[in-house]
Amino acid sequence: MDNQRLFLFVALSLVLMFLWQAWEGNKHKELTTVSAPAMTGSVPKPPDSTPSASNVAPSAAPIASNNQSIAVPAAALKSAQRIRIASDLFVAEIDTAGGDLRRLDLTQYPVATDKPNEPFQLFNDTLPNLFIAQTGVVGSNSPAPDSDALFSAEKTEYRLADGTDSIEARLSWTHADGIAVVKTYTFHRNSYLVDVKVEVSNNSGKEWKGRVYRQLQRTKVGEVGQSSFVNTYMGGVVSSERNKYDKIKFESMGEWKPQDSFYKGGWAAMLQHYFFSAWIPSQDQSNHYYTNVLDQTRYIIGMMTEELVIPVGGNTAQTARLYAGPKDQHHLNDVAPNLELVVDYGVLTIIAQPVFWLLDFFYRMLGNWGWAIVCVTLVIKAVFYKLSQTSYKSMAHMRRVQPKMQALRERYADDRQRMSQGLMDLYKKEKINPLGGCLPMVVQIPVFIALYWVLLESVELRQADFIFWIHDLASKDPFYVLPVLMGASMFIQQRLNPPVPDPIQQKVMMALPFVFLFFFAFFPSGLVLYWVVNNVLSIAQQWYITRSIERAASA
């Protein structure tokens, strides 16, 4: 196999991968045209039998229990009074209509580097980028507060006071039959976890039966500021005892069914590039997990408890935790089992996780993610130095005998068999292995791809300073300096390689640096920085080896 053809194959594969990612990203960015008023409407109470589609749009498949079916009501985004909660990490708004968490601003994450005082908005209840967290109660034989219910609040504004570690916001709902429900949101200092407790009291004079549900609802609009050339997974995930990380794409949410009726523990999440939200029940609690699609624009993932039975005069409390924040790889493993998998490195996770550990190690040492990328690139080049040396030696020898190879091609231009035999004899005489430059490159490809995903997935690089004009390693270079350097380094590398005899391949190889320059102009600068440093180190190593071999041959 010719080294140039392998390089051409790898380069074209990368271009195709970038094109595919860009196409996938654009394909999934659908802007809904539904107006906000059309999203409101009454929600029927759960009947004893499965309702028809013409009467209700359930947000979950019915759950069979004792020959009865319970359907979670569709989320009707009515609006009433807003309750504002300000903590050290959040500014949140709860609507008394349904008692849902409708807005959540992450105050430690500005929306952009040029807007440092405008926090990133994770939850929002307006189109087109709707994303909310909902809880409710479905009664089997009596009234219960679902998404249509109107709660009352003790206060309209809460603020985490200095010296306190948490703050509670309580909402209550009562019915004339004697059923009372209290929702309590507890926000903690220095935590992206919110405790949500639902208490049901039965003073109705008869036994009460029902279920508590929690769900996330969103549209498919991508994360603000994300490049269309960068496509990471956005959709649902369910983690359970059966499958620790079950991706559920938006397109599958209308048909997805869990393998078991109920799972103990686990969690259900909605993911986007750097941030996500997940409902996490108690790990000893059993829930039915579900998904659904409403109006072909809103996607739901959630869970519902087993049927609760409350005797007359009794009460019960169901608590779950809501995580809403960044994909912080340092703390997710402590929040819930398998939650760290939301930082999705794909099939190369086993390689990518140690690479991130190394990247984080250098950051803690240097205090700069850009220099940490440079150091990780240096370490990887050092680890593969011997393999790269074998590859570059093979290329140097191929370059040295290139005139003899060209003479053979010209001599046997009309006899391909004799030309191939002549080349093999030349390789044997000069002690050249034509595969010597290929295999070391192939071995390194998984590590390079794993590092690519580490740099792409790490929220730590978002709005991270490097030097001079680069103030966000997760955004493109504003002055395109790094992409130009990357294209120039690719061109220099090509000049060090043996020339390609085929004229068409020569033109393609000459065009590749410009093609990559175009693509990398829109890529996060952290990724381009890695490529530039890697190319510069490769050029230095290849130039040194080539010169050494040429001097030895001329001596």
Backbone angles phi, psi at 477, to 5 degrees: -65, 120
Question: What pLDDT score does 385 carry?
Answer: 84
Look up the pTM and report it.
0.82
Per-residue pLDDT at 370 exceeds 80: yes
Q: Quick count: other Cβ atoms within 10 Å of Cβ 114? A: 9
Q: How many CA atoms lie within 13 A of 521 on its CB side?
A: 11
Question: What pLDDT score does 547 carry?
Answer: 81
Span 6-15, pLDDT tens digits:
455 555 555 5
**Which residue has better confidence, 427 or 236?**
236
Determine the straight-line distance between the first and last CA of the chain, rounded to whole angstroms.
30
Give me the count of residues in the chain.
555
**Which residue has better confidence, 328 or 401?**
328
Average pLDDT of span 481-488: 94
What's the pLDDT band for 232 if we cut at 50, 70, 90?
A: confident
Q: Do 466 and 368 meet the contact criterion of CB atoms below 8 Å apart?
A: yes
Average pLDDT of span 476-494: 91
**Which residue has better confidence, 153 or 63?**
153
Q: Which of 52-66, 287-301, 530-544 has the lowest mean pLDDT?
A: 52-66
Question: What pLDDT score does 375 carry?
Answer: 97
**Alpha-carbon gap, residue 423 to 368, rounded angstroms:** 51
Q: Quick count: other Cβ atoms within 10 Å of Cβ 413? A: 9
Span 126-155, pLDDT tens digits:
888 899 999 999 998 788 998 779 999 999
Span 153-190, pLDDT tens digits:
999 999 999 999 999 999 999 998 899 999 999 999 99
> Is residue 417 packed enough to be buried (19+ CB in 10 Å), middle (13-18) or exposed (0-12)?
exposed
Q: At what angle do helices 503-520 and 3-27 cross, to 10 degrees?
A: 40
Do the bridges between strand 298-305 and strand 308-310 make them parallel or antiparallel, or are there none, so unpaired? unpaired
Question: What pLDDT score does 439 carry?
Answer: 60
For residue 281, whether the previous peptide bond is cis, meaning omega lies within 30 degrees of 0, is no
What percent of the chain clears pLDDT 90, i.e. is strictly above it? 53
Domains of the chain (ranges, CATH numbers) = 3-22+350-554 (no CATH), 36-83+162-344 (2.70.98.90)
The helix (run of H) or strand (run of E) holding residue 294 is strand 286-294
Q: Which of 31-35, 105-109, 251-255, 533-537 has the lowest mean pLDDT?
A: 31-35
**Alpha-carbon gap, residue 212 to 217, rounded angstroms:** 16
**Alpha-carbon gap, residue 490 to 502, rounded angstroms:** 20
Question: What pLDDT score does 234 carry?
Answer: 94
CA angle, 373 then 377 then 383, to 5°: 145
Structure tokens at 536: 């510069």
What's the pLDDT band for 489 if we cut at 50, 70, 90?
A: very high
**Alpha-carbon gap, residue 428 to 433, rounded angstroms:** 8
Span 286-309, pLDDT tens digits:
999 999 998 888 999 999 999 999
Span 380-432, pLDDT tens digits:
999 988 877 777 777 777 777 777 887 887 787 778 888 888 878 887 877 77
